[in-house]
A and B are shown apart, each in its own frame.
Chain A
Amino acid sequence: MAGSQWELPPELCCRPMAFVALTGLDVTYNAVHRAIWDAFCANRRADRVPISFKVLPGDHEYPKCRTKRTSYEWYIPKGILKTGWMNKHLNLVPALVVLFYELDWDDPQWKEKQSECATKVEIVRTSLQGRNTKVAVVLIQKKTPLPPGEDLVASERASSLCNACDLSGKSLFVLPHTDHLVGYIIRLENAFYEHAQTYYYTEIRRVKSHKEFLNKTTHQLLFVRHQFKIAFFSELKQDTQNALKYYRTAYSLVHELRAHETNMLEIKTMAGFINYKICRLCFQHNTPLDAIAQFRKHIDLCKKKIGSAELAFEHTAWMSKQFQSFGELFDEAIKLGLTAIQTQNPGFYYQQAACYSQDRKLMAQQLCQAGAICPAPDPLDTPTRGLEFYGQRPWRQGHQSIDPPDAEKERTGILALQIKERDVPHSELIIALLSNAVAQFKKYKCPRMKSHLMVQMGEEYYHAKDYTKALKLLDYVMCDYRTERWWGLLTAILTTAVRCAYLMANIKDYMTYCMELLGRASTLKEEQKSRIEKNLFNVLKNEVPDPEPECEPSGASAAAALWKDCMALSGPEFSIEVQDYVPFIQCKARFLAPSFHVDQLIRLQVLLRVDCPHPVSFNKLSVSLSNQVYNQWCVLESSGQDKICLSPGETSCFSFNFVAKTQDVGKKIEMTGIELMLGSGRWVFLSWRGAGGDAASAHEALQASRLSRPRGHGTEAWQEGDWDSLTIQHSTMIISRIPKISVQLSHQPPALNNEMYCITLTVQSQEEGVARDVRLTAGLKPGQDANLSQATHVTLNGAQVCDASDPALLPDIPLGDLNPGDKVERCVYVRCVSTGPRVFLFHVAYSINTSVDGQEINCNCHKDETVTIETVEPFDVSAKFVSTKFEPLERVVVDVPFVLMTDLLSSSPWPLLLHSSSLQLVTMTTCVPQPQSQLEQVVLQTGECASECFCLQCPPNADGNGTVATGQYVISWKRESSSPDTPLVNTTVPLPHILLENVPLYIHAELPSFGRVRETLPVRYHIENRTALVQEVEMAVEPSDAFMFSGLKQVRLHILPGAEQQMLYNYYPLMAGYQSLPQLNISLPRCPATHTHTLRRFLPQRIFVKPQGRQLDDAFIAAA
């Protein structure tokens, strides 16, 4: 067993539980007994009392008790703690022996059975002679017992049985074998537990009582032993607080012992045991800080107690074990709910344990000579195959004086131990501890610590000669150190890795690591780099490389053989993906521009730079592009034996040119990879993905950009030595050839709503060749508001107004071929049916033949012209209703004429020609049969207004109340500037709605247009009854200063339905000028809602009165 000597004994690590032996149970053949035993064993959860049960035969021999010492006077102890002691009290000496016996109270053979039981008890007692172990009897009964006190026979027989067996009443139990077995068993075991506690209590008292006999000079060991025993018994008693107290005393006592070389191991072993117990109990009491403090104290006290220098590895092994077991305790506590933190977790203890194991390995290598032979009688063999006391030497057990008894025996003993140590698989132990630590650090967010430990694991695998595993681990973590740019650490790891690769003769890995060790990230010295470069070139020449220094000679020679085999096979060429490393050849590639026209040469550069001490030559350089057709143009191959050489520290630039395919116009060309072929005899491809760069170049570029002044990043301008700031351009766009045509648009913005807006397009060729297949796409530019495409129509036919069926964009209108210098003109008509801005696109495409680098290509060119055109309303139309007196009307009276006035205000910047206008009436009728438009052929300038009047009347049969639609006003117009054959635009304007009203009485006056002073002015009033009833009308004329009059001043009259009355008055004007006519007061007694005011609006209010003329004038007028 590896390291078994240092393992803690299992009896130390377990949780001590009271030991109770069960006898008289036949668990194999008796089903009842089996059931009882199962009830004891099964489901021992935390809520049950901590007892370890064992079934023993009735006549079992318990360990003999030695005769008790009466005096310690002449006693010299031989050691601290016997190896068997803990096990004895855990598993061999019970606290209580329980005798099971099948006996019912009313058993017919009561007497016989009672004596048999007593005999059995006696046998057990004899076997336990001298021990304080309690004995109890359990009667297994078939009947359910009566409640206590009721069964007189039972109580009488119980006491007789107790007497016979010499038992106290408390030690006799009855177990009825009925349904409730488990319940009874739990009660039983609680009772057993009490007995056990009493037993351990007496044991503690017994050990304590020894103390007075001890003296400090000769019995120092016993002080430790007794405290340990008390503590252990306390644990068995489940009194962990006291146990901890006694262990702590024991711990301080153990360090008070006189330590010398011969007993150092014993002291440390015991100190380790006690420390383990203390830490374990501290964690159990949930005081982890106490545990950690105790452990630190323990380590500080013991760190320097190395003991024999020849066995120094023992100390480190022991230290390692201390850390490991503490780590395990810590881990266990965490599993039970303790929380650990980043800086205090079990990982640190495992790590330290690994560290001590590494020291142990080193010491073992120093101290254990390889050639030593094991001495003939093995001094490590003991007659009993074990030690009597913990931590003693097999060849001098029990020896406690300072000097070894026999120097020769001592020497052979140490030799035997050294030989034994030599066979210990140290690396295995270290790796196991490290991997434990890795798991912990992973859990507590320590990625770098984890990486560090993995490096250590890798190195340990390397020492253990498991190179595959070593490389796997090292390779895994290298990437972390590389991304964090810790070059020193990376170099160290690479150095180990390159050794592993060498020893395995793994060519690819070997070369990869060599290349990185030669690179700029490596911190190796120049001469080492030279050596590595030489090795690398050897491999490239298919020769065996020199062994790595620090490889052990045997391994190196084995490796050399492996290399020879490899070289003989010479294997296939392979490629090494170097992008993620920092290789010794740096590569950056770039297109010289982010875009090229299809009629231009596409130019790209590959820049290489080597960082190793000596020049490097290569055979081939090739660039792969996303379109593989071009790859053939981007290859550079050395011819014959002349290789292309790269000098250290210099930048070499390789340029490639090619002509793009016309079908790649609009596409992106990307570099997908760069390959560099090295070697002579063995060929290796270094490959970069994309356009080069490596794990370190991004950061270097960033640093360079911080440093650089804002220098023009001219694509051509690139200075030598400015490698870091050189940026990669890994892709380029191929864009179409620049068109050499002009596209001109002429039009007169803004567009007027609904009109056929004419845009004249002129295309003129400035090409040197024939532009073939010229095509025009014209219309609304796609990608605007979706509603616009519904409200815009494009056509080439200007002769008629286009409708909704015409599209918003006319694609691919063929314009034919264009000879150099030729011109073509097209009119495009656009009709916008809503206002607002629109973007129009005019796309002219053609194809032409041209030549690039001597190659004839056919390219498609196109020119786009966009224009934003605003659409506005040509004019505003407003309409209003007035009475025949030109007073504004709110409501129209049925069957009374009124006037509609329309105003048309031009808002167009261009003069408008109004062709005609018309009314489309709905409810109304015109008073004139066929009204002629008053606006015909009128030209309106900006801001001018054209008005029209229409006299309308609502027919009498119309429903008198509510609003009614009047109709529409249609104007047909066009721009004045447009050609005569341009179609007219009809604009329809809805007229406002109007309220209708019915009146019961209509009155209107018939009078001349003017009067003359002192001349009779006849006025006739017509009064119409518009109801179906006879209306009584009261009429009166108010006196006026301006008029005298004759006629009925006040009258009351009746008008029949639908009839009309006429009233004639002769007014005689007295004053000239505008005069108010005498007021007419009318009232309808039957219809009080209609009164004078509602009727007065039908009547004229004033009249113009001319002054009295002279006679001459009159005669003159009369003559005229």
Chain B
Amino acid sequence: MAVCIAVIAKENYPLYIRSVPMQNELKFHYTVHTSLDVVEEKISAAGKAMADQRELYLGLLYPTEDYKVYGYVTNSKVKFVIVVDSSNTSLRDNEIRSMFRKLHNSFTDVMCNPFYNPGDPVQSKAFDSMVSGMMVQAS
């Protein structure tokens, strides 16, 4: 399961970041932030080819020694980033994809809330508990 899940606004500022407690939270922030380089590059590369048929799932963004970082971009350019421990080899691409789908669905629900102003940090409890379900459970 994931060690960090982040939702990034179209303008590349964080709407939501959650990482497993105990570990260096700041490090995950940096990891997510640096992964935006690759996301941006992938979006601009795909944007040239075919904007409409672009797949939302961007795949593995880049491997670090310790973590694998996956990316996903919605059509409104909101980015989802999932960080997974490198040692966790049981996770397959399909499972990552389904995690992103769940995330996207839940985020859509957040956006549908008439009291949520798009662009504000996500504070939904439903979203939070859904993310918790996808995180590595702190033992």
Contacts and interface: CB of A to CB of B under 8 A. Distances in A.
Interface of A: 342-343, 348, 352, 355, 445-449, 452, 455, 481, 484-486, 488-489, 492, 699, 702-703, 706-707
B111 to A, nearest CB: 13
A489 B118 contact: no
22 contacts: A348-B64, A446-B34, A448-B33, A452-B30, A452-B33, A481-B33, A484-B13, A484-B33, A485-B11, A485-B14, A486-B13, A486-B33, A488-B14, A488-B17, A488-B25, A488-B26, A488-B29, A489-B26, A699-B11, A702-B119, A703-B119, A706-B118
Contacts of B117: 703, 706-707
Nearest to A449: B34
Q: Is the interface of A mostly helix, strand, loop or mixed?
A: helix
Contacts of B38: 342-343, 446
A446 B37 contact: yes
B52 interface: no
A448 B37 contact: yes
Nearest to B26: A492
B118 A343 contact: no
Contacts of B41: 342, 445
Nearest to B12: A484
B13 A343 contact: no
A448 B119 contact: no
Given A343-B61, A707-B117, A448 B34 contact: yes
Contacts of A486: 13-14, 29, 33
Main SS at interface, chain B: mixed
Contacts of B13: 484-486
A161 to B, nearest CB: 66
Contacts of A449: 34, 37
Contact of A448 (B25, B36, B65): B36
Contacts of A492: 26
Nearest to B120: A703
Q: Considering residues B25, B36, B65, B120, which has the most beta carbons from chain A within 10 angstroms of its beta carbon?
A: B65
Contact of B33 (A342, A348, A489, A707): A489
Nearest to B13: A485
B114 to A, nearest CB: 11
A1107 B134 CA distance: 127
Contacts of A352: 64-65
Nearest to A485: B13
Contacts of B119: 702-703, 706
Given A446-B34, A488-B25, 10 more contacts: A342-B37, A449-B34, A484-B11, A484-B12, A486-B29, A699-B11, A702-B119, A703-B117, A703-B119, A706-B118
Contacts of B64: 348, 352
Interface residues of B, number: 23
Interface string B25-45: 110011001101110010000
Contacts of A702: 119
Nearest to B66: A355
A489 B29 contact: yes
Interface string B51-69: 0000000000110110000
A598 B36 CA distance: 53
A489 B30 CA distance: 7
A371 to B, nearest CB: 31
B11 A355 contact: no
A348 B25 CA distance: 21
A892 B3 CA distance: 109
Nearest to A455: B30
A355 B36 CA distance: 21
A452 B27 CA distance: 10
A355 B11 CA distance: 30
Nearest to B35: A448
A280 B113 CA distance: 58
Interface string B98-139: 000000000000000000011110000000000000000000
Nearest to B117: A707
Contact of A445 (B12, B17, B37): B37
A441 to B, nearest CB: 8
Contacts of B30: 452, 455, 489
A315 to B, nearest CB: 14
Nearest to A445: B41
Nearest to A299: B65
B65 A355 contact: yes
Contacts of A707: 117
Contacts of B37: 342, 445-449
B34 A452 contact: yes
Contacts of A446: 34, 37-38
Interface string B1-15: 000000000011110
Contacts of A448: 33-34, 36-37
B65 A343 contact: no
B8 to A, nearest CB: 10
A1062 B66 CA distance: 134
Nearest to B44: A445
Contacts of B118: 706
Contacts of A348: 62, 64
A446 B61 CA distance: 12
A486 B26 CA distance: 11
A108 to B, nearest CB: 77
A343 B62 contact: yes
Contacts of A481: 33
B109 to A, nearest CB: 19
B13 to A, nearest CB: 3
A912 to B, nearest CB: 70
A486 B31 CA distance: 12
A488 B38 CA distance: 21
Contacts of B120: 703
Nearest to B45: A342
Most chain B CB inside 10 Å of its own CB: which residue of A355, A445, A446, A702? A446
> What 6 pairs between A and B have smallest CB-CB spacing?
A485-B13, A446-B37, A449-B34, A343-B62, A707-B117, A448-B34
B121 to A, nearest CB: 10
Contacts of A488: 14, 17, 25-26, 29
B91 to A, nearest CB: 18
A492 B26 CA distance: 8
A699 B25 CA distance: 26
A355 B25 CA distance: 17
Contacts of A355: 65
Contacts of A455: 30
A699 B30 CA distance: 22
A452 B37 CA distance: 11
Chain A CB within 10 Å — which of B12, B17, B30 has the most? Answer: B30
A1056 B40 CA distance: 110
B46 to A, nearest CB: 14
- Could you say which of A342, A352, A485 has the most chain B C-beta atoms within 10 Å of its C-beta? A342
A484 B26 CA distance: 16
Contacts of A485: 11, 13-14
A452 B65 CA distance: 16
Nearest to B115: A707
Contacts of A699: 11
A446 B25 CA distance: 22
A348 B33 CA distance: 16
B75 to A, nearest CB: 19
Nearest to A706: B117
Nearest to A708: B117
